Structure 1
């Protein structure tokens, strides 16, 4: 197994901070039923629909009883390993995929390869990139619970006023952003920007990996090799730095939260984010549209925010089989529609069409865009040091630093971090 780097779970961008906690008993056989505990950190609509689906599963058969236990994500991740080591942990646990390599390396998770290999499991219908989020060194330790590709939100009124079309390529993107940038007093500081291009602490840390991949590069390969210092990435970074510095299409120093705020305040025409922006925009009275990321030289690669379900080492063979039975049930076609419409996340299987979730336009748009979703650094935890290296390179480049030199420094820093 490649070196796993301990890091903080990136769950803020998913808007999943929650209250409430309760702990179910660990799995046991009672009254002829296999009892499983399922820890997850979903709340509000997504948590309600997930718990309702668990209830429906329990009622659908009489041999398995699953008890969901809702915990704040940070609490869940901090307490899971001690609970498992003492035999009091859950049999099923949801977690952001960057945590899976650490849990797997400590022997806390069971392999799910046999479930994936079973032709009757339903696994064949899953989005392959969603599956990749729970894979470490070729072994599958997770099944996807959410997988939401980075998407572009745009202000329709601003587009209409400028008379520009929604861009589909990088060149069109910059051209549209220039037309949408307004500096009415010519003081060099636009009152309205065409784009909020985040350069640090981006949405799910996925903005620049998406741009690098769309430009033909990458950050870290599936084998754990750092490849951020490449001609392709240097070209991508220089392209966007030039547009920001010379054409003033975006402010600099933007985090994901900053970009959300500017868009909801009507100060930028385009931003990158996830489904929560629909709610933010609606509350702010923004007439928004949703579009896929414009294509780079190598097409569209949109890093996805994700959560996976895993079977823990606290499970007996019987309990693991019961958990896998639940997974197969969960991924059935109608259940995927229910989960997507109730949670606001796009479906996890490729057999659900956007027409089938059309009653929620945001989910329908993201369903069409799921084909562009890619796993963010699968099998590698992006630790604070790695993220700082990435942020430093992109932020300094947007402020006038040399892209090639910054990427070379990031390469050295990331390689040293992953070698620890």
Structure 2
């Protein structure tokens, strides 16, 4: 299942990265201390009334669900002090119920959520901090976790999550279409310049009506895993500064990247205008687009469609080759007790162990959350491909820790992008105005 197809998800699909605006800020209120205490890493002892039971909400309702359940079953069978009790529901339903549920006495202790949602809930005081988990190295060696995955759940310098799963994007390319265009099917583009050269051969308008029968790439411009934003990163720009305080979408490097890709789509017609994420998937899946940048959740669908595809790191820009990473994180209810926190940390440590991550990766097709698991230890070839250390080390999370990230993406950035793609204003004038709106959302918090 896609726990983030920004509006249709994860995504990795049905988790729409349709993010929700920050509902407020403040210091989380919780019953248990957030500071490390002596013996924190010790396995909790069962109370006189039996083992500690932790309610765990997650939205992995797709083909990846059984892999999650297998690790939970293995954990529950491995000891008798803690029982993880999952409650599985669609992601949109989970988010609708969450704020009221965490304030009730019988609410979940552990909640999985897209990391981009953390500011919304942390800002209301609904989540407990997890800094002490990372401070205690007996739980997990943080050096084996991708920094982007760890930092994705930070808000105002405090961490509120533990990596649950991650999904870097890769370039899928149709080897048969490359061959038909006279291109080497084992050599996809590695730079913007190479893309431009190959795209001219892969964009086919047989009748000259201005509407290609085959496109070089499927680039969605709304309800999608962000595609244009990483292009901006790789030209030295972006949407928001790394510290999350300033809009940089109208800075020269950002505008230059946007102008380049808008011209590729609008003028060179390398992709249709107006694609949602699902449309982009379908275009590639039906052999009408030679390339798409998307996550591991599409490997099965493309394979079942009979597409002879290859996978590669997305092509580099003038200044870098970072790719987008989607991260789902474990979070804790702010009302969690010290005893429950220790039990949850024991489970998180188990989840991020080598054996559990192999079980998860082999069963889901997602990469492990650890960078120290060799490819030959994984049975699923796609888990190994998406788990390459070089790829994970050069992945970033969009708008991590930024309040109102959903509003910035869905209500400001995408409408501005669609406006310029449709020729209703220049990149500079449209995104200068968008930058002011983005800054207002940042300042609003």
Q: Does TM-score exceed 0.5, indicating one fold?
A: yes
Tell me, in whole angstroms, the C-alpha distance in 1 between the residues paired with 2:340 and 2:136: 17
Q: Is 1:81 paired with 2:96?
A: no
Q: Is 1:396 paired with 2:419?
A: yes
Post-superposition CA distance 1:339-388 (Å, at most 9, x none):
1111221111111233322x322222211232332111111242245422
The CA deviation at 1:101 is: 1.2
Match of 1:312 among 333, 340, 348: 333
Q: Is 1:144 paired with 2:166?
A: no
Q: Is 1:411 paired with 2:435?
A: yes
The CA deviation at 1:17 is: 6.7
Matches within 5 A, 1:288-307: 288-307=309-328
Post-superposition CA distance 1:142-195 (Å, at most 9, x none):
011121112211111001111223111111112111111112222322211111
> What is residue 383 of structure 2 aligned with on the other side?
363
| Equivalent position SS for 2:199 | helix
| Equivalent position SS for 1:363 | helix
Question: Contact between 1:107 and 1:313, CA under 8 Å: does it hold in 2?
Answer: yes
Higher helix share: 1
Tell me, in whole angstroms, the C-alpha distance in 2 between the residues paired with 1:81 and 1:232: 39
1:378/1:246 Cα in 2 relative to 1: closer, same or farther (>3 Å)? same
1:85/1:9 Cα in 2 relative to 1: closer, same or farther (>3 Å)? farther
| Equivalent position SS for 1:171 | helix
> What is residue 180 of structure 1 aligned with on the other side?
202
> What is residue 128 of structure 2 aligned with on the other side?
110
Question: Contact between 1:393 and 1:407, CA under 8 Å: does it hold in 2?
Answer: yes
Question: Contact between 1:11 and 1:73, CA under 8 Å: does it hold in 2?
Answer: no
CA RMSD of aligned residues (A): 2.1
Match of 2:364 among 329, 334, 343: 343
Q: Is 1:378 paired with 2:400?
A: yes
> What is residue 33 of structure 2 aligned with on the other side?
none
> What is residue 198 of structure 1 aligned with on the other side?
220
In the superposition, the TM-score normalised over structure 2's length comes to 0.85
Match of 1:333 among 335, 347, 354: 354
The CA deviation at 1:16 is: 3.9
Match of 2:248 among 184, 203, 227: 227
> What is residue 303 of structure 2 aligned with on the other side?
282
Which stretch of structure 1 is more off in the superposition, 362-371 or 380-389? 380-389
| Equivalent position SS for 1:232 | helix
Tell me, in whole angstroms, the C-alpha distance in 2 between the residues paired with 1:167 and 1:355: 27
Tell me, in whole angstroms, the C-alpha distance in 2 between the residues paired with 1:30 and 1:37: 19
Tell me, in whole angstroms, the C-alpha distance in 2 between the residues paired with 1:376 and 1:275: 18
| Equivalent position SS for 2:267 | helix
The CA deviation at 1:418 is: 3.0
Which stretch of structure 1 is more off in the superposition, 398-407 or 113-122? 398-407
Q: Is 1:154 paired with 2:151?
A: no
Tell me, in whole angstroms, the C-alpha distance in 1 between the residues paired with 2:177 and 2:193: 19
Matches within 5 A, 1:35-74: 35-74=53-92
| Equivalent position SS for 1:318 | helix
Match of 1:12 among 9, 14, 23: 9
Question: Contact between 1:16 and 1:42, CA under 8 Å: does it hold in 2?
Answer: no
> What is residue 353 of structure 1 aligned with on the other side?
374
The CA deviation at 1:274 is: 1.5
| Equivalent position SS for 2:171 | strand
> What is residue 264 of structure 2 aligned with on the other side?
243
Question: Contact between 1:131 and 1:143, CA under 8 Å: does it hold in 2?
Answer: yes
Match of 1:254 among 272, 275, 282: 275
Q: Which consecutive aligned stretches of 4+ in structure 1 deviate over 4 angstroms post-superposition?
A: 8-11
| Equivalent position SS for 1:419 | helix
Which stretch of structure 1 is more off in the superposition, 260-269 or 216-225? 216-225
Tell me, in whole angstroms, the C-alpha distance in 1 between the residues paired with 2:190 and 2:207: 30
The CA deviation at 1:202 is: 2.5
> What is residue 21 of structure 2 aligned with on the other side?
none
The CA deviation at 1:314 is: 2.6
Tell me, in whole angstroms, the C-alpha distance in 2 between the residues paired with 1:363 and 1:114: 30
The CA deviation at 1:123 is: 4.2
The CA deviation at 1:133 is: 1.3
Match of 1:208 among 228, 231, 235: 228
1:302/1:17 Cα in 2 relative to 1: closer, same or farther (>3 Å)? closer
